[in-house]
A and B are shown apart, each in its own frame.
Chain A
């Protein structure tokens, strides 16, 4: 039915008046009714919550699901956290303004790990979203709800946010396309901040063409975000030529490490062969500081998170616990109790770790040192891009893991982002596209990385790969 189609396919059908907006919405609502109880991609799907839109534009009549950390005026935005219980956004995020202006319909909000802290959606204060390919497994995270909604055809596309892989890893686990744009390419205004120097909003879509169409809409300078880049936005759909002759693709030897699953390794090598046959030159490269990326990330990201989350104090919005045993608490006690009750365990872990690495006596040893190693990681990429046009790696070392498998071991959870984190540290764009399945029929993702503001090369190579394979057309069986 229409809900299984992409935005560009639907736009064609709408233009020829073969279908109407009502047809699209009806088929999506039917799919949601049928499968949402199993997948649980939405925080709370309500037909009355759909924000319709009569603007004409390139996304006219196309429904989108929005991660629960992006502000939609008049709608709840809770970051899947108890501390933002009942919070209604007083304004639209810039990306939402742009989507509305281009005609998109907002279907609802997608579940996520609380404040985007996690790689499995298990840290949501609501419930765990399930992987549409195997309901006993995680959809990945933190944009797990967004990825699961796209994969189960409960939406046409979705918005997510990516701080260390939170768009690409779930895209890989659910067999959809996930893009993290260059840092500053898309405005962060209205995105609830996790780690301000790493966060980017990006699309999760059914194919590379939709990803390019969506980036066309959401990219660009915004005076409300002083870190957004003052550079023109090209028409990314022009990069979808299918031709990659003359492109040099780097394969970093540090990404084929111990611990990577054999199925993932095999699928990645096969994908590299596809790219070679299409005319790309394949070259082994080295990104020598790769092994330090996870450590650098968990210092910088938690430091920034502990400082960003200081705003949740029970005064301006969200939860407030101001009395205990019928006794009124002081302002200071209110801060302590509200934050103690409102934040989940991963949020507390990251706030405490972030406070530790920033605290007196440890700042130079951890935070400053991490910022310096970040410089080296970025330099690795800039050096590599003198020799190659883009880099190809697996998106994640394994396919989707079981619900409950890693939640008790934070460090092993952190290591599932090992291949995606570096792009955020270096500020470069990266995209994950479906590249096969494991023996157990679980999706595998292939990651393309390119130089700062060179999303065009990403789209060009990823589209060429997609054209030669059929992985993106295979759908999960939810019967």
Chain B
């Protein structure tokens, strides 16, 4: 399958990443190679096979809804590039 620059640009938009022009064309070529390699999975018969999303047969883990201590707010904000009082600060979202 061929992968165009437009496809890469569309994927970059979905993934919220700015790519430089040369990155787009290089990725298109590399993705094409990788995708044609992984296309060999089309040779496998997967009729009536269940997908594996988790290797062990474990179910949801439930616990009592008890109040426990959690990460301190000041500590949580310590790594923020910009914070004010008890909030992460970003620019206005709604115009």
Contact = CB atoms under 8 A, between A and B. Distances in A.
A164 interface: no
B2 interface: no
A226 B14 CA distance: 29
A40 B34 CA distance: 31
A310 B14 CA distance: 11
Contacts of B19: 340, 348
Interface string A370-386: 11111110100000000
Contacts of B91: 322, 328-331, 334
A374 B37 CA distance: 17
B57 to A, nearest CB: 10
A318 B58 CA distance: 34
Nearest to B13: A336
Contact of B8 (A229, A352, A371, A376): A352
A376 B44 contact: yes
Nearest to A343: B17
A452 B31 contact: no
B23 A315 contact: no
Contacts of B58: 184, 227, 229
A375 B50 contact: yes
B28 to A, nearest CB: 10
A369 B42 CA distance: 8
Given A352-B15, A368-B51, A292 B76 contact: no
Contacts of A87: 79
Nearest to A328: B91
Interface residues of A, number: 71
B70 to A, nearest CB: 10
Nearest to A337: B18
A319 B81 contact: yes
Interface of B: 7-8, 11-12, 14-20, 23, 27, 30-31, 33-35, 37-38, 40-42, 44, 46, 49-56, 58, 61, 63, 71-72, 75-76, 78-82, 88, 90-93
For the complex of A and B, the 8 pairs showing the least CB-CB separation, nearest first, are A427-B55, A340-B18, A371-B51, A320-B81, A317-B79, A295-B38, A372-B46, A90-B75
Given A329-B91, A372-B44, A427-B56, 8 more contacts: A183-B55, A223-B63, A295-B41, A319-B81, A331-B90, A339-B18, A349-B27, A366-B38
21 contacts: A90-B71, A91-B71, A184-B56, A223-B63, A229-B56, A292-B41, A295-B37, A322-B82, A336-B17, A339-B16, A339-B17, A340-B18, A341-B18, A348-B19, A349-B31, A352-B17, A355-B11, A356-B35, A372-B52, A378-B55, A452-B56
